[in-house]
Amino acid sequence: MQIQEHIITAIPVFTVEDSFGAVLDFFKDTTYSHVAITEQGRFLGVFSENDIDTLAPTSKIDAVRYDLGSFFARKETNWLDVLEAFARNEANLLPVLGAEEEVLGYYDLSDIVAVFIDTPFFTDPGNILVVATGIKDYSFSEIAQIVESNNAKMIGAFITDVQNDIVQVTLKISTVNFNEVVQTFRRYNYHILLGTSDDQFLEGLKERSDYLDTYLNV
């Protein structure tokens, strides 16, 4: 997947010799979290909107050169690593660097998320299944085997959370034999956090609940 076509060149890049007032005006007119700073044409770092109170408008950006952030993407960086850089740095604007450390432009988080949403994981028909297991027991090959052993197809999968030694995996699975897949995960002691299908286990619980309600209302 090529994301280079989403590099934005219309957003300014500042130098250490620019006044902080120019950067302040940039943040006042946009909702971006960071902006790139260069020195002699080469990337020096990113200035965060959260630090706008640290300088007077007449000061030079050079005064905070050692406090600049250091995250960026290369032109050849794949889209998953770009998404990770956004998340890790809590940013919505990411500088893109060329071979000579020059700033080619930026990636906007909303553009990259749109690329992600346009992948088969979201566009192809199927069901979402979220499972959880102990991190010591986690095996992607086992997860794939469970899906495929039921003659279902794995459209996509990724880890969506890791907390307290529990790993949470979100799967997109073909609709064929989906319930069998869910039941097999249960037999392998996976916790089912979400399953968007007619899960017979949940249907059974619902039927028992409905029967109990009817019995109590007689």
Element (H, E) at 180: helix 178-187
Residue ranges per structural domain of the chain: 4-116, 122-198
Would you state the pLDDT for residue 1? Answer: 60
Q: Residue 76 is encoded by which pair of tokens?
A: 């050849």
Low-confidence ranges of the chain (pLDDT < 70): 1, 196-218
Identify whether the C-beta of residue 169 lies closer than 8 Å to the C-beta of residue 103.
Answer: no
- For domain 4-116, say whether CATH 3.10.580.10 is its number: yes
Residue 59 DSSP SS3: coil
Residues 216, 218: Cα–Cα separation, whole Å: 6
Residues 114, 166: Cα–Cα separation, whole Å: 29
The domain 122-198: what is its CATH number? 3.30.70.260
Would you state the pLDDT for residue 113? Answer: 87
Would you state the pLDDT for residue 121? Answer: 77
Residues 196, 178: Cα–Cα separation, whole Å: 9
Q: Residue 167 is encoded by which pair of tokens?
A: 């790993």
How many CA atoms lie less than 13 Å away from 47 in the CB half-sphere? 29
